[in-house]
Amino acid sequence: MAEVELRHLRYFVTIAEEQSLTRAAARLHIAQPPLSAQLRKLETELGTTLVHRTARGAQLTEAGKVLLEEARRILHEVEQAGRMTREVGSGLVGRLALGFIPSASNAVLPPMLRRFKAEYPDVTLHLQEMRPDEIVDRLHDRRIDAGLFYLPFEDPALHVRPVAEESLLLALPATHRLTDRERVRLDEVSDEPFILPARHGSMPGLYAIVVEACERAGFTPRVVQRDVWLMQTIVGLVAGGMGVAVVPASMRSLQRAGAVFLTLSDVGERAQTAISWRRGSTPPVLRSFLDIVTGSSSGVGPDE
């Protein structure tokens, strides 16, 4: 069947369904003589008679009945392949690997995932929780498609785009002297022991934001525990009375017993979460996700 064309199969299926070359030609919007010629060409190619022309119309031979079943299957598979190809090309189906820092799952990530799954239910999401430096390494190694982490960060090989920001709160042990207040200044705890988030190599992230806020308030934090990379762990250490911490506002949702969160009246710094992906060709599925993450059309072309 090397020389059999798809249009020959479509013509044949139509003839079989109509049981008449005249009706089949009308349905296909072609004249009957060319249709008859195409049928004869198909029969010659296959080396057998497919249709008996009788006074009652076109009747399939036994060979024709076999071909009808196979032709319908082939045409269905071709149609399905075309549809799947179009859907992949438009970002409607596929696979997306996303790395994210654990704290992104508190407030930033869930609404993104809900909206993306609602609009692209046939995309398979592979989510991986990891440190920010691991996210960057896996982006470079092409093991993930995109990653979420705290700014600041720069890398000439990667796109970096802010997608969310939140204010900073002061986390205190429940027994602290300031817990009867709703708002405090950061310099009111300048003498307290601080628990600082980790700095991962070239990614200062939240560590830099907290240190900058303290310096703007006129002091250098007295660190009792550093390099804690999980925000949940930081809040747990605060609840255990180890010290105080400056954390993103989404940490309040943890409702950790023994920890109290107060508004900082003198801190303008905000924790910014960014999405990062490789420069160069951007797969359609990733473009679809970026549209969701940025809240509108991402403006990312296929070669960005």
> Cα separation of 186 and 222, whole Å?
13
pLDDT band at residue 109 under the 50/70/90 scheme: very high
Distances in whole angstroms, Cα of residue 246 to Cα of each of 56, 199, 200: 87, 15, 18
Domain with CATH 3.40.190.10 in the chain: 93-162+283-296, 163-271
CATH number of 163-271: 3.40.190.10
Q: Looking at per-residue confidence, does 88 or 30 come out higher?
A: 30
**C-alpha–C-alpha distance, residues 15 and 59, integer Å:** 9
pLDDT higher than threshold 60 for residue 182 = yes
Residue 54 has pLDDT above 70, yes or no: yes
pLDDT attached to residue 297:
40
Decide which of 75 and 11 is more confident: 11
Average pLDDT value for the chain: 86
- Say if residue 192's pLDDT is above 70: yes
- Residues 239-255 have pLDDT tens digits of 999 999 999 999 888 77
Give the residue among 218, 166, 219 at the shortest CA–CA distance from 193. 219
In the DSSP assignment, the letter for residue 152 is: P
Give the pLDDT score at 86. Answer: 59
- Contact between 196 and 286 (Cβ < 8 Å): no
Q: Residues 93-162+283-296: name the CATH superfamily.
A: Periplasmic binding protein-like II (3.40.190.10)
Length of the chain: 304
**Overall fold of domain 6-88:** Arc Repressor Mutant, subunit A (1.10.10)
**Cβ atoms of residues 293 and 110 within 8 Å:** no
